[in-house]
Amino acid sequence: MSRLHDMGGRFGDGPVAPDFGQEPVFKEEWHGRALALTVASGFLRQWNLDEGRHARECLAPMDYTAFSYYEKWLAGLTDILVAKGLVTPEELSTGQAALDVSDVAQHKLTQESVAESLARGGPSERQTDETPEFALGEQVKTIPAGNRSVAGGHTRLPSYAASCSGRIVTVHPPHVFPDANAHGYGEAAETLYTVAFKAGDLWQHPENPTDEVMLDLWQSYLETP
Amino acid sequence: MPHDSHDHPHHLLPSDPALRVKALETLLTQKGLIDPAALDEIIDTYETKIGPQNGALVVAKAWSDPEFKAQLLEHPTETVAGLGFYGRQGEHIQILENSDHHHNMVVCTLCSCYPWPLLGIPPTWYKSDAYRARAVREPRQVLAEFGVKLPSETKVKVWDSTAELRYLVLPQRPSGTEGWSESELAKIVTRDSMIGTGIIGAVS
């Protein structure tokens, strides 16, 4: 049902290692290059945010576990470049460019446009004529985990909060729906809600049952209990 | 794209990560898809221009100026954009105000979502399996690992960044800072206090 990235609530990971603000932004030079390469490639406009995330989530569990953070980014980027037909496996093996992609290269991010491009952002809020199905304060129940249309597909409903009861604390405008947008089904924007879950409703052994976990969830993830 | 193909192309690159990045950058540059100078510019942006100093200014201003704080809570994205803080991974900002009754703490269990224009690139611990796995299940134990111990009557709210809303915690202003200027206040605002894994102690 699940993939390794969906790790909220998992046991066995050991203590967190705080840096108290002392660590450099990029611990290794290649970390910065891997991030910049991923960000710059995104501006080629050949895939959206949700497809990019899903490419990282599709790493084999063995790779996802073995790879450091930026290795995951790099592997996800490599795989999506091939999946989108921008790079061939032969080019990766030989290191020699062969396939002509000059039509895509016209979107290349230039040094001069970096500041403006980063500052522009990419809002995911959309205007639709949809009326929110749920109201502030209403009790809701989440659906079972997993993308409803695509087996093993992208979803932003974490497994730990699937099939759980919560309460609507904010009704937001519609946002692009990742479960559709990651798979070529369009943006399919729907109302987004912030839903509060009591720790006692999420966990068998809550640390403090009245503490809460808040999640931002799309309408399709929610049902009337 | 197809999922779960068993011949993931990334295995065709060199095994050393630094060489792997270099190989891909070189190939994409040859193909005209990447400008290496643009990569330098992105790295420089997040190393020197966009970082937690931005969020610290927002917090210091909110502590000093009640009118600004009211606007910030009412229209967060527009208000921080007014200070020049907008862009990638900060398109929909939400402010979480800490009080004696509520302590807010932010995580992204599914990946590493973080308010880039306000805090920059997330630290390693924020992206670690341990933080992602445990922050939602045992936030008080995780906070203890940061040296933060909350009274049991303070309710903890953990915000899992599952959508494109990006959260900034507004920490409590420490005592002993009465009459301080915004720039003096900004200096004591820690990155962790704006994620919710730190509190700012009283100044003596």
Cβ of A86 and B120 within 8 Å? no
* Domain identity same for B63 and B39: no
Q: Is residue B64 part of a domain?
A: yes
Neighbours of A196 (CB within 10 A): 16
Structural domains in chain A, sorted by start: 29-120 (1.10.472.20), 139-223 (2.30.30.50)
Catalytic residue among B5, B15, B111, B204: B111
pLDDT tens, B6-42?
Answer: 578 999 998 899 999 999 999 999 999 999 999 999 9
Q: How confident is the model at residue B4 (pLDDT cuts 50, 70, 90)?
A: low
Residues sharing a CB contact under 8 Å with residue A130, sequence separation 6 or more, in sequence order: A174, A189, A190, A191, A219
Is B112 an active-site residue? yes
pLDDT tens, A19-36?
Answer: 999 999 999 999 999 999
> How close, in Å, is residue A155 to chain B by CA atoms?
9
CA A23 to chain centre: 25
Number of domains present in the structure of chain B: 2
pLDDT of residue B147: 97
| Average pLDDT estimate for A48-70 | 96
Strand partners, B17: none
Per CB-CB distance under 8 Å, the chain B contacts of A39 are 42, 88
Q: What is the domain range of residue B109?
A: 51-195
* Domain identity same for B27 and B75: no
| Average pLDDT estimate for B67-87 | 97
Q: Is residue B93 part of a domain?
A: yes
pLDDT of residue A2: 78
Is B5 an active-site residue? no
**For B124, which of A27, A37, A71 is closest by C-beta distance?**
A27
Inter-chain Cβ pairs, chain A and chain B, closer than 8 A: 311
Alpha-helical regions (H) of chain B: 17-30, 36-44, 52-64, 66-74, 76-81, 116-119, 124-127, 129-134, 139-145, 182-188, 191-195
Name the amino acid, one letter, at B175.
Answer: S
Residues sharing a CB contact under 8 Å with residue A169, sequence separation 6 or more, in sequence order: A136, A137, A193, A194, A195, A196, A214
* Domain identity same for B116 and B146: yes
* Domain identity same for B40 and B117: no
Q: Is residue B6 part of a domain?
A: no
Q: How far apart are CA B151 and CA B140, in angstroms?
A: 10
* Domain identity same for B66 and B24: no
> How close, in Å, is residue B170 to chain A by CA atoms?
17
* Domain identity same for B121 and B22: no
* Domain identity same for B70 and B23: no
* Domain identity same for B61 and B140: yes
Q: Residue B3: pLDDT above 70?
A: no
pLDDT of residue B6: 54
Per CB-CB distance under 8 Å, the chain B contacts of A34 are 17, 21
* Domain identity same for B98 and B154: yes
* Domain identity same for B30 and B80: no
Is B183 an active-site residue? no
pLDDT tens, B149-198?
Answer: 999 999 999 999 999 999 999 999 999 999 999 999 999 999 999 999 99
Q: Is residue B157 part of a domain?
A: yes
| Average pLDDT estimate for A130-150 | 96
* Domain identity same for B88 and B168: yes
**For A82, which of B9, B28, B157 is closest by C-beta distance?**
B9
